[in-house]
Chain A
């Protein structure tokens, strides 16, 4: 089975721009979560989607948004980029997000640099 894929792998943007990152989960997985990793804050949860619905949301401003399509692929969007948004954005998928039963599989991440 192919793993979780994220595109693009690297991205450079300037302040004020917006960006869209894409995540393709493992085939058959319906839960997709997004995390931001920075040196100072570590891995922080952004949001989780399941069957095209946002199921959980972390403590991030409204500039961060996401969506999930009927084929379970997910995108996240960051508008009005700030320097502090420079980070590794990780996507994880699991069959249903079920606790005690499912394993979450992470993609390699998209490295976003905001200049």
Chain B
């Protein structure tokens, strides 16, 4: 039973426009959420995180929104750039350490020039 779901396997966006990647979770115990980006042949790279006491966190072009009542989070990338083309993973966690992340299956983002 998947606790973290990314229902869109792929997303294609034009350069300069907004990319919105979505993630749903089922475990109400989760209180820390992260987004990772992964290029082929490399390990995932941390992008941005949010704790459950917030509903928004921003870092440059990346903003994560958390809707606890809907158990939904989203990652907004504005403006999208061709270098953003990668697989994006949503992850969630609860408990004493960050070392046991539960990941979604990823969304492949393609940003077209």
Binding site for B on A (CB under 8 A): 4, 31-33, 35, 41-45, 48, 50, 55-56, 58, 90, 92, 94, 96-100, 102-109
Contacts and interface: CB of A to CB of B under 8 A. Distances in A.
Contacts of B93: 99
The 5 tightest CB contacts between A and B, nearest first, are A106-B43, A48-B99, A42-B105, A43-B103, A97-B97
B101 interface: yes
B42 A55 contact: no
Interface string B25-58: 0000000100010000111111001010000000
Contact of A99 (B43, B44, B98, B103): B98
Nearest to A38: B105
A109 to B, nearest CB: 6
B99 A107 contact: no
Given A33-B100, A45-B101, A58-B100, A90 B46 contact: no
A56 B100 contact: yes
B65 to A, nearest CB: 18
Interface residues of chain A: helix, strand, loop or mixed (majority) = strand
B43 A102 contact: no
Contact of B44 (A45, A58, A90, A97): A90
A109 B103 contact: no
A90 B91 CA distance: 15
A52 to B, nearest CB: 14
A31 to B, nearest CB: 5
Contacts of A56: 95, 97, 99-100
Contact of B99 (A42, A55, A103): A55
